[in-house]
Structure 1
Amino acid sequence: MKKILLLSLAIVMLSFLFTTSTINAENITDMDQISVAKGQINTYLYALNHSLVDDTIQKNIRDLVDNSNLTLLNYITGRHSIYSEWAKNNNVKFTNVSVNIDNGNIKYDKGKIYANLSTTTAVTYEYMSGKGSGVPNTFKFSEIHSLVLENKNGVYKVIEDNFYDPLRPDLSEDHVNRKVFDYNIDNNIASNALMNQKSIIPNSYKTVYYQTAAAAAYADKWTDNSGSSGTTHNPNYNYYPNNDCANFVSQCMGDSNAGNLPTDGTWYPYSLAWINADSLYNYIVNNRGWLRAYSTSTSYLDSYAKQMKVGDLVFYRWSTSGSTKDHVSIVVAFDSAGNPLVDAHTNNRWHYPWSLYSSNTTFWLVGVNASVTVPQNQ
């Protein structure tokens, strides 16, 4: 790993030097500017994601960002600290990072480069001792970046990088505003989603089974489309940029091709309980037929995590005070040590360690029953 990271750093710095020399050429065209900036963008994004696990790159990435953007520079340091702390607390070492960059739209205007693009980063880690040690575990996450670079003394430097990341405290995912019907909902999509529910059999009660394997498969399909074309959200449902977490988890639980749990008058596509993390939590916890168990006590989180099952949920608040849930994910698998891995929107996370967040995060681990008895009209 040391050799790989040192080589990575050398590539980053060589690319930086190449950019420095190229931009000083006279009579450079707009397309030349874009070409040069594209190399710098790739260098920056490569370094940004490798800096999560590498101290040296984390320090040297400051050469790629303009000093005027202290928020971004402090964020880069803070995100590295979260990964470092999690690795230490879990006896983990990171062994590899790879970044796939879709350059998207890039334009040049009056000495600045504007770029909108997406990245998918894969991170591999191993436990250093105990159960599952030495076995590689890989998770992925995606980001959409809106970048601005400016020519500073012959070198393009990043002056803005606006992107959503739950690890970034100043851009944490706000739970969907309770004025939910202010959203411009496509009624045709809503109808299609409702039609995905199975037809009702005319008896008074029925037992329904939570199809957890199908829920996990659905979650995987709509978080990681690596190597395939198409979107990473189901087009049969509305999508809420930066606020799609509960909508996504509800689909995993309720779509007939996924968990197949029945909707009712409170929980149905685009209801508050469907698209709002806090309301979804209250719906499940107050619906005793659904709730298996839950834990929010810090002392018991790790031990309860070992008891979680595929299809269970993890709720988050981006602070240690208060009780409103800001985010939710669904358990889809377990790593080599038996710790839960989750999928989530937004941004997309695939097989992500459930606890890899800031120490300021509050967690609620919620177990969902595999079968429940409900009125026949649900």
Structure 2
Amino acid sequence: MLLTALLIPSAARAEDAGKEEVVRFLNQLYASRAQSLLHAEPRPISPFYIAAEKTSRYALHHELRRTEYMHAWAERRNIEFVHAGSEIHITQFKRQADRIKLSLTQSLKLSYVYKNGAREPQHFGVGTRHTLTLKQLDGQWYVLKEWYSDPLEEDPKLIPTWLHAQDHVRIPMPLAYPASASRPVKYDRAKAVRYADKYAGLAWGAGNGHKYNSKYKDYSGRGGDCTNFSSQIVGDPHEGAGLRMTPTWFYSRNEGGSTAWIRTDSFKNYLLYQGHGALIRRGKYVDIMKSSSRFPKGAFAEMKPGDFVGYELKQGDIDHFSIIVGFDANGYPLVNSHSADRYHVPWDLGWDKSTVFWLIHMRDHS
């Protein structure tokens, strides 16, 4: 009995020490990957992967392509990334001989400045959920496999061409406007933005302990949570922007969200056909940003914090929704969303020149 009592704590200490070693490896891995986004150098992250393993090479290739995309996008937008930070939390951990299977979440912070404009750093956050398999070789840990839904996974060759500043720069507008006595506010933009910031999930900068609003189901594994989040922003009875639920557009604890509440195209149709929102412009990046007789400063000049952007990948089929939460120091629109989690992210980051954007302006008054 005495021998057993002594061995169990010893084994537990060894297991804890082994896990601490893995945690150090993972912190180094994700910190190095964050730094690679600043410098576009493959060398800092290559040693974490196994060249002889196909799945490991694929995981490395994904990160290198991601880095290439980020730098190509920054070049097109005339910005420079100046800081990157990473925080991870392990949610599942299982060791099997020389391998470990685990799940974790990452909160990534990126900061940028404009090369020929505002030099004050602008900050945004992205949150992702990862599933990994690690393999130990000669006492060292390496990434054997990794999967995550990456909002920055794009072809660097398909980034829309940069337009001159005068074609798109606009002055940020206030979050709320006083209502006249005869026209009470129906849609509270300030509350919409506060909700979007509070419940932006895993993204750096988000509130609520990086958790979604627990009153609602998480649809991330069932087609995505972006529209559910957008509906919450608009219609949560206590913290949302003020729209009342209807028999068509609603959420209940037992049933979850209605089709119009959780499906992108149904939500878009509900906003537009019920008169809650108006379509300002539908088009590709250049169409949206360029100056025209109708939009001398570009279509975004008609948009305010609390308005929505839809992202169409297939003809007529919206794939994603985000909410405008503000504008950076150079007037570039910033958005929040779920699936993946974004906090004050430049609105087109992660989308390419074939994406069709829907700019939906919410009606403030009844």
Aligned to 1:280: 267
CA contact (8 A) 2:284 2:354 kept: no
1:178-212 deviations in whole A, cap 9, x for unaligned?
Answer: xxxxxxxxxxxxxxxxxxxxxxxxxxxx9652101
TM-score under structure 1 length normalisation: 0.74
> 2:167: which partner in 1?
none
Could you report, residue by residue, the CA deviation over 1:49-69 in whole angstroms, capped at 9, with x for unpaired residues? 22223212x343122122322
Q: Which residue of 2 aligns with 1:144?
A: 129
> Which of 307, 317, 327 pairs up with 1:312?
307
Q: Which residue of 2 aligns with 1:368?
A: 361
CA contact (8 A) 1:309 1:367 kept: no
Pair 1:93 & 2:80 matched: yes
What are the residue-to-residue correspondences of 1:210-249 with 2, within 5 Å? 210-223=187-200, 230=209, 232-242=211-221, 243-249=224-230
Alignment-derived partner of residue 65 in structure 1? 49
Q: Which residue is 1:40 aligned to?
A: 25
Task: Call closer, same or farther: CA 1:229–1:263 in 2, change over 3 Å.
Answer: closer
User: Pick from 140, 161, 166: which aligns with 1:155?
Assistant: 140
Deviations 1:141-169 (A, max 9, x none): 11222221101233211011222222336
Give the 3 Å change call, closer, same or farther, for CA 62–322 of structure 1 in structure 2: farther
2:232 aligns to what SS in structure 1? helix
The letter for the 1-side match of 2:149 is Y
Q: Partners in 2 of 1:276 and 1:59 — Cα distance? A: 42
Q: 1:360 to 1:53 in 2, by over 3 A?
A: farther
TM-superposed deviation, 1:366: 2.0
CA distance in 2, matches of 1:297, 1:55: 28
Q: Is the 1:306–1:339 contact (alpha carbons within 8 Å) kept by the matching residues of 2?
A: no
Deviation per CA, 1:193-241, whole angstroms, max 9, x where unpaired? xxxxxxxxxxxxx965210110000010001586976452111112112
Supply the AA of the counterpart residue of 1:62.
S
Identical aligned pairs, as a percentage? 27
C-alpha change, 1:227 and 1:245, in structure 2 (3 Å) is closer
Equivalent positions of 1:194-205 (< 5 A) are none
User: What is the DSSP-based 3-state SS (H/G/I as helix, E as strand, rest coil) of the residue aligned with 2:197?
Assistant: helix
- Which runs of no fewer than 5 residues in structure 1 stay unpaired? 1-27, 171-205, 374-378
Residue 357 (structure 1) aligned with residue 350 (structure 2):
yes
Query: How many Å separate the matches in 2 of 1:364 and 1:306?
Result: 15
The one-letter code matched in structure 2 to 1:364 is F
RMSD of the alignment, in Å?
2.6
Kindly indicate whether the alpha-carbon contact (under 8 Å) linking 1:82 and 1:358 is maintained by their aligned counterparts in 2. no
Cα distance in 2 for partners of 1:346, 1:141 equals 10
Summarize the Cα distance change of 1:100–1:214 in structure 2 as closer, same or farther, 3 Å threshold.
same
TM-superposition CA deviations, 1:103-156 (whole Å, max 9, x none): 3443422111222222211111011113xx112110011122222110123321
Distance (whole Å) between structure 2 residues aligned to residue 72 and residue 322 of structure 1 = 31
1:32-87: per-residue Cα shift (whole Å, max 9, x none)?
4323222211111112222223212x343122122322332221122112211221
SS state of the match for residue 165, structure 1?
Answer: coil
Aligned to 2:327: 334
Q: Choose 262-271 or 335-344, whichever is displaced more.
A: 262-271
Amino acid at match of 2:227: A
Q: CA, structure 1 residues 219+289, in 2 after alignment: closer, same or farther (shift >3 Å)? A: closer
In the superposition, relative to structure 1, how do residues 105 and 338 fare at CA in structure 2: closer, same or farther (>3 Å)?
same
- Specify whether residues 287 and 299 from structure 1 end up closer, same or farther in structure 2 by C-alpha distance, changes over 3 A only: farther
What SS is found at the alignment partner of 1:42?
Answer: helix
Could you state the TM-score of these two structures normalised by the residue count of structure 2?
A: 0.76
AA paired with 2:363? A
Which of 278, 283, 307 aligns to 1:296? It is: 283
Number of residue pairs matched? 306
